[in-house]
Each structure stands twice: as C-alpha cells, then as structure tokens.
Structure 1
Amino acid sequence: MKASSGALLAVMAVAALATTALAKNYTVDGSTGWDTYVNYDKWTAGKTFMVGDNIEFKYEVYHNVLEVTKADYASCATGSPISTHSGGDTTFELTEAGTRYFICGIPRHCSNGTMHVKITTVAYDAATAAAIEAAAAPGAAPSSAPLPSPPADVYSDARTAPAGAPGASTPKSSAPRYQRTSAAVAGLAFAALLAIAA
C-alpha cells in the first residue's frame, strides 16, 4: 500500500510539473504595461489564460494594483480590496479556473475607463496549450488554412537533391517543448501506473 501511495504522489507531482512547464507568462499590455489610457479589454481579447499561467503587471511607482471583487471592479471601489500591491512589478499566478478582477487604486485611474482588467482563467488543457504555443512560435502561419501538399518530384536520394528541394537533407530540429514534456509526462505516468498495479 505504501508503494502505491508513493507512486500516486509521483504521478501527481509529474502532472503538476508538466502544467508548470507549459505555463505561459503574460505581461499586462506587453509594450505599454499597466498605465492610463490603455484598452485592457482589447489586450485580453483572443487570449486563453489557463491554470498555471502568470499575469505580470509592470507599472510606474505612482500606480498600484488592487485585486478586487466583481462588484468593486464594476464600480471601481477601492475601499476593501482582496489584495493591494505597489512597487512597479507585481505577478499573479493563476491557480484556479474563474475570473479575477484588477484595478488601479489611484483616484480616477479606474473610473476614467481604463486601468481595470479582468482575467478569466480556464482549466489547463494540454491540447489548447500546444495550440497556443504553436501559434506563438516564430514563423507560425497567420491563418489556420491547411498547408499545401508537397510537390510530386521528391528525390529518391535526399543526399543528391539540390539544396532546398523536397527530400533534401536538412538538419532535424528538436521537438517543440510541449511535445517533449507531454511524452515525458506520459511515460512517467505510465511507469507510475505500472508500479501501482504491481
């Protein structure tokens, strides 16, 4: 029974590590940061925040970040925040699915219609994480249109094919990070399950 408990803990630890390894770090509005006159609804549009991701606020020291309730977010109320942060750089780990609400507590910075952002987090999903990472990769296709089929003139001997021709020898790239991690996690989970069964 002890071995089974240990194996189960190992599987859980590996799963937690896999989620962390695939976590994405978002800097709120990337280029401008946490500041007035930025449309944060536009910044969050099209993003999928998942459990394990991190949200970083970078801001001038005359701003702050308050995590607030939904009601306080709607009214820009600063009197009873869940937490208050200052200093110019604050990171929040998204630890569970749901929506979190953030505002600047400096008078009128939220109520002027800008310094507020809500982050809706969904449960971690490996397929979605892989798709997000693939879409963010340099050279990723801008659309989801299928790639064209390779031409029929594939050379039988890749070593003699002209450079750049289909079938020509090219250095093999390593698998993307999400594929390596997923394979490792699957292998470790399978080994742990075998240990439990034994």
Structure 2
Amino acid sequence: MAFIKPSPFSPLLTLLLFILSSLLIPAHSVEFAVGDKDGWRIPSSKADDFYNEWASKQRFQVNDTVRFVYKKDSVLVVNDTEYRKCHSVQPIFFSNNGDTEYTLDRPGLFYFISGVSGHCERGQKMIIKVLEPQSEPSPPAGGSGASKAGMIGASLIVSQIVIALLGFFFS
C-alpha cells in the first residue's frame, strides 16, 4: 500500500484553508416562531400574558428574526406608550400578510401588538428584550431556535475538520 507523502507546505495550506473557511461562514442568527405551535392569536382568557411568558423563555440576539403566523390579523411594532395603550396611529412596522418575519436589528426592547381592534386588550401583545452583543453569541435557552443554533455550530466544526484533512492529504 502506497502512502501519500505530504509536502512541507501542507501545514501552512491546512492552516490557510481553516482560516478561510472560518471567514466564509456568516455569523448565525435564529428564527423564532412566535408562540411556537400556537402562532399569533388571542390567548385564552386564562393566559392573557401568554406571549410575554413565551418571550421571557427565549434568548434573543441582534439579527435574530421573529416569525408571526396568523389568520385575519396583523402585527404592529410600536413604542412603549402605544404598547401600554394598545393603540397606534403610526406604528414603526405594520404587516397583515399572515406570515410576517421581523428582524431584531438592535439590542433593547421591542413592543409588538395586534392591530385588530380588541385583540391587544385581550392579551395579543408582547415585549421582546434583545441582548447586547457578546464576544461569543449564546444560543437561545430552549424553544424553537436552540436546535438550529446547535446544528449550525456542529456543521461549522465538521466542515472545518474536513477542509483541514483535505488540505493535509492533497497538498
């Protein structure tokens, strides 16, 4: 059986390929399905704080997205005052397409309400807190996004190992 003798440049090429693969893979973001399987709807009378409880169990980072799935409703991003009043004349963002994605583009608080009359007053509203960026992004603490973040990290490691091995054996 013949062995391939690596050239003296193999370690350098392997290191170069490893660095390039790290730079080409974009930073991850997570998409959260608001309300998980329940979607965006009026919560039951016993769970009028349903969406704030759901949001408090997630770890939102800058550039994550929240996805609202609903029928005959709407999503408004509003300020704190409009959130407390459950009413907005000029929302920051409005959508009524039934499948709305909104990117959390900064750290801080985001206020969401339903634009259908009476829905916000019955609990269809939510505050999301987006964490300050960290040197190492933390995956969400459970919920719909945790498995996606883990899979992205695992695929990054596997791809870098494969590239390093290819660089070692074929240089």
TM-score range, shorter chain: 0.5 to 0.7
Query: Whole-Å Cα distance in 2 between the matches of residues 98 and 77 of structure 1?
Result: 21
| Aligned match of 1:34 | 40
Q: 1:100 to 1:176 in 2, by over 3 A?
A: closer
* Secondary structure, counterpart of 1:80 in structure 2: coil
- Trace 1:47-196 onto structure 2 (pairs within 5 A): 47-60=58-71, 62-112=72-122, 114-125=123-134, 127-130=136-139, 132=141, 136-137=146-147, 177-178=152-153, 181=156
* Secondary structure, counterpart of 1:31 in structure 2: helix
Q: 1:68 corresponds to which letter in structure 2?
A: V
> Shift of residue 137 of structure 1?
4.3
Q: 1:119 to 1:131 in 2, by over 3 A?
A: closer
Q: 1:176 to 1:87 in 2, by over 3 A?
A: closer
TM-score by length of 1: 0.56
Structure 2: 5+ residue runs without aligned partners?
1-19, 45-49, 161-171
Query: Whole-Å Cα distance in 1 between the matches of residues 157 and 110 of structure 2?
Result: 29
Query: Whole-Å Cα distance in 2 between the matches of residues 85 and 176 of structure 1?
Result: 31
Percent identity reads 23
Q: 1:82 to 1:176 in 2, by over 3 A?
A: closer
* Secondary structure, counterpart of 1:50 in structure 2: coil
Q: 1:99 to 1:130 in 2, by over 3 A?
A: closer
TM-score by length of 2: 0.64
Q: 1:183 to 1:52 in 2, by over 3 A?
A: farther
* Secondary structure, counterpart of 2:120 in structure 1: coil
* Secondary structure, counterpart of 1:177 in structure 2: helix
Q: 1:56 to 1:131 in 2, by over 3 A?
A: closer
Higher relative contact order (CA 8 A, sep 6+): 2
Query: Whole-Å Cα distance in 2 between the matches of residues 86 and 55 of structure 1?
Result: 15
Q: String of CA shifts for 1:46-82, please: whole Å, max 9, x gaps.
A: 211001211000000x210111111100110122211
Is residue 2:48 matched to residue 1:18? no
What is the total number of aligned residue pairs between the two structures? 131
Q: String of CA shifts for 1:109-146, please: whole Å, max 9, x gaps.
A: 0012x11011111133364525758x9449xxxxxxxx
* Secondary structure, counterpart of 2:138 in structure 1: helix
Q: Which moved more, 1:121-130 or 1:95-104?
A: 121-130
Q: 1:37 to 1:137 in 2, by over 3 A?
A: closer
